[in-house]
Each structure stands twice: as structure tokens, then as C-alpha cells.
Amino acid sequence: MLRPYIFDLHQDIPYYIHLKETWTPFNMADDNRPGDLPEYRKANVKLIFTAVFPLANLYTPRRGEEISRLYKMRKTRLVVPTVSAPFTRAIELINTIYLIHEKYQDQVKLIMSREDLEGLLTNDRLGFLISLEGTEALYDTTYLEIFYRLGIRAIGLTWNYDTRYAASCMSKRDYGLTGVGEELVMDMNRYGIIIDLAHSSKGTMLEAIEISKKPVIISHSNYTRVVRHPRNVDDDILEALSANRGVVGFTLIKSTLGRGGTIEALARHITAVYENYGPDILAIGTDYFGIKTPRDAKRISALNRLWPILLDNGLRETDIEKLAWRNAYRVIKENSKAWKGK
């Protein structure tokens, strides 16, 4: 039975913890959440990009109306994700990841150095690579040094809102990267901080890929040929990503999957990209803890049902290994050459 490692390019674990009033200890199985240490062992998860999402859900009716005007989103709710003290919130969420690591350090390892990355495949611990989702907390590019020292090794240029660096996929006006956004991309390359283009506009994606000297990721998106959705990526983007030797992490966000949002729908997106671009562009980015989970994928071990479907669709076992972890590992390793120290 095929049971590859899984490198998951996006999970919102600290955000989920902050939303919950109660939290089952992470070393105990809880069927009401998509993952925990027993579940990760069951699914053979080896590395998770543990996202820091520094926006806060606040009661702000006017902001909801503004979002409807400026973005391709219908915001009728009175409580919406809002930019409020994003740097402070980012620090709080990073601290949450550190606290999980401290409590379960016999089972969890923070990936901050090349040595950490290389040792990941030779020990039994689960790797946490800390990523920052959106650049609201980067008041200017000098803040990269602060976040790098705190352990951030990947940054998404946007969430669904525009920033001073780039346009988002939900923006009604795609202006791509700003001038300071171009500087940010180059500085991220210098630090070896992985550029994540999920949630970014098409213009932002194409410009960032062109500028970047290192492979980038689109951590959690699907394919527009299968389902047209602002969060999905098209052929222009995938062609550029393939030339960059980056990866797209296929996601379990139901609205991006189509046909009920099932494991089989996920397989359709993966197979379609595979047939057009081959196996080297494929990765996994579930978005667990940040989404309402598909009915047949409530827990991450459901991915074990994905592999036989992909085999039936024509992928080889070596292709599935690339999808599950090898491609992501390659991209991380290439960026890690710039990490300070061993």
C-alpha cells in the first residue's frame, strides 16, 4: 500500500487555537478537528507549513461594506477579518507555535536551519515550518530581519486584501507588485524566505515569479480549467511556475474544488495539472484549520484515499511521491541555501 510522507504547505493551526474556547491537548486524538499528533502519525505527515494569519475578526459594519466595494467578495457579515495591530497579532500567533513546540518538543521540531531540514527525514518528529500569511505585519521591508529571526521561513505576499506590496486575487483592480513589492521579493530571496503566492492576483504572481531567483510556492490553490474561482490558478501562471521550478499546493477549500468538494474533486485538479505540466509542479496545501472541511476529508488521514484514485488516473507511484512531499522538499531545500548557519 502506497503511504508516502506528506508535506502540507498550509495549515492554520495557531489561528484555529485562538478561535477556540477549549482545546484538546495536541497529543490526543480529537475527531472534531482535522489534525493532531496521533492523526499526523496515522497520515504519515512529516512537515506542516504552520501559518500565521495576523488579521483579527472584528465587529466592523463599515469595513464589510468597503470590502464589497473594493473586492470580489460579498461581505454581508458584520464581523470580518480586519487589519488591526497585525504585528502584535503575528507575534502572538508565532508564540502559540513556540508554545506547542515547547510542550511537545519530543514530537515536534521547528524547521529554522538547513540542519533542521536535513534531519527531518532521519527522525520521528513532525516538522513545523512557520509561514506568514499576508504582509500586513511587514510595516516595511526591514521587518524581514525581525520575522526571519523569529523563525519565519515563508511569507505569502497577500491574503485576500491588497497590501502596500501587492494586489490580491480578490482585488477589482490588478496592479500586480508595487515598487516596494519588487524589493520585498528580492529581499526574501536574499534571506531564503520562501515566496508564497497563494491569494495573490495574477499580475502579482507573474511579476513575482519573473523577479524571483528561487523557486516559489502557491501554497493552497486549485486549477481554473477544472473550476473557475479567484483563488485558483490558470495556465499562464502554471507555465511560469513550471519554468521557475516552483510548486502549487492543491487544496481542500470546497469552493475551489467544485462538485461537492470531495477527495475525488481534488484528484481531478491534480490530474488535470499533471497531464498538462507533469509531476514536478505538484504539491499539497490542505488549508486545514482555516476552512470548513469537505465531508469526506474531515481528518488529514483522508489523503490516504487520494493516492489510489491518482494511480487509477494514470499517475505513477514516483509521481505521487513528488506530489506528496518530494517537490515541496526540493523547493524548501533550494531556498534554505540562503539560511544563516547550518
Beta bridge partners of 247: 217
Angstrom CA distances, 199 to 86, 111, 153, 159, stand at 18, 24, 18, 5
Q: How confident is the model at residue 23 (pLDDT cuts 50, 70, 90)?
A: confident
pLDDT digits 0-9 by tens, 188-229: 999 999 999 999 999 999 999 999 999 999 999 999 999 999
Beta bridge partners of 283: 249
The DSSP-derived string for 5-45 is -EEEEEE-HHHHHHH-S----TTS--TTSS--HHHHHHHTE
pLDDT digits 0-9 by tens, 271-326: 999 999 999 999 999 999 999 889 999 999 999 999 999 999 999 999 999 999 99
The SS3 call for residue 323 is helix
pLDDT digits 0-9 by tens, 235-281: 999 999 999 999 999 999 999 999 878 999 999 999 999 999 999 99
Look at residue 159 and tell me whether its pLDDT is greater than 70. yes
Look at residue 74 and tell me whether its pLDDT is greater than 70. no
Distance from C-alpha of 179 to C-alpha of 107, rounded to nearest angstrom:
42
**CB contact at 8 A, 48 and 26:** no
Element (H, E) at 129: strand 126-133
User: Nearest to residue 10, comparing CAs of 38, 45, 55, 61?
Assistant: 45
17-21, 145-149, 183-187: the lowest-pLDDT one: 17-21
Distance from C-alpha of 124 to C-alpha of 108, rounded to nearest angstrom:
9
**What is the overall mean pLDDT for the chain?**
94
Q: How confident is the model at residue 153 (pLDDT cuts 50, 70, 90)?
A: very high
- Give the CATH fold of the 6-336 domain: TIM Barrel (3.20.20)
**CB contact at 8 A, 137 and 67:** no
The DSSP-derived string for 200-249 is B-HHHHHHHHHH-SS--EE-S--BTTT---TTSB-HHHHHHHHHHT-EEE
Angstrom CA distances, 239 to 210, 233, 243, 315, 323, stand at 12, 10, 6, 20, 17
Ordered by start, the domain boundaries in the chain are 6-336
Distance from C-alpha of 224 to C-alpha of 218, rounded to nearest angstrom:
14
Give the distance from CA 224 to its chain's centroid.
Answer: 18
pLDDT, residue 340, reads 86
Retrieve residue 78's grid coordinates: 458584520
> b/e for 98-110, b at 16 or more Cβ within 10 A?
bebbeebeebbbb
The DSSP-derived string for 65-89 is HHHHHHBS-----SEEEE-SSHHHH
Q: How many CB atoms lie within 10 A of CB 76?
A: 8
Distance from C-alpha of 79 to C-alpha of 58, rounded to nearest angstrom:
5
- Give pTM, 2 decimals: 0.95
